[in-house]
């Protein structure tokens, strides 16, 4: 689980081009959207693609993303339970 969280943090930084953020600056429960990392609607869509591409998870309803992408912690929980690759 810890390894997955670290992996997610570096993936988020790389995929979403967060140039000025480093892995150790993101806490497991930091909010990703809003005041946290300040991600926006395109980033949310990009995270949906990441789930599909890297973990074989297809979100049936994009609205589900809101809960899943609350923080690195919630993402890691969801991926652990649902991943197919």
Taking CA atoms, 48 is separated from 17, 20, 24, 25, in Å, by 16, 23, 23, 23
Sole binder of other proteins in the list 10, 22, 53, 80 (CB under 8 A): 53
77: tokens are 């929980």
Q: Say if CB 13 and CB 22 are below 8 A apart.
A: yes
Residue 25 CB, shortest distance to other proteins, in Å, is: 13
Instruction: Give the x/- contact pattern for other proteins in 13-52, rule: CB under 8 A.
Output: ---xxxxx-----------------x-xxxx-xx-xx--x
Give contact residues for other proteins (rule: CB under 8 A).
Answer: 16-20, 38, 40-43, 45-46, 48-49, 52-53, 62
């Amino acid at each position: 689980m810890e390894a997955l969280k670290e992996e997610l943090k570096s993936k988020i930084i790389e995929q979403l081009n967060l140039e000025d953020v480093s892995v150790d600056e993101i806490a497991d429960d930091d909010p990703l959207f809003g005041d946290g990392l300040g991600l926006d609607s395109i980033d949310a869509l990009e995270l949906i693609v990441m789930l599909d591409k890297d973990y074989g998870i297809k979100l049936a309803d994009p609205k589900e993303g809101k809960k899943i992408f609350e923080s690195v912690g919630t993402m890691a929980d969801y991926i652990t339970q649902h991943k197919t690759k």
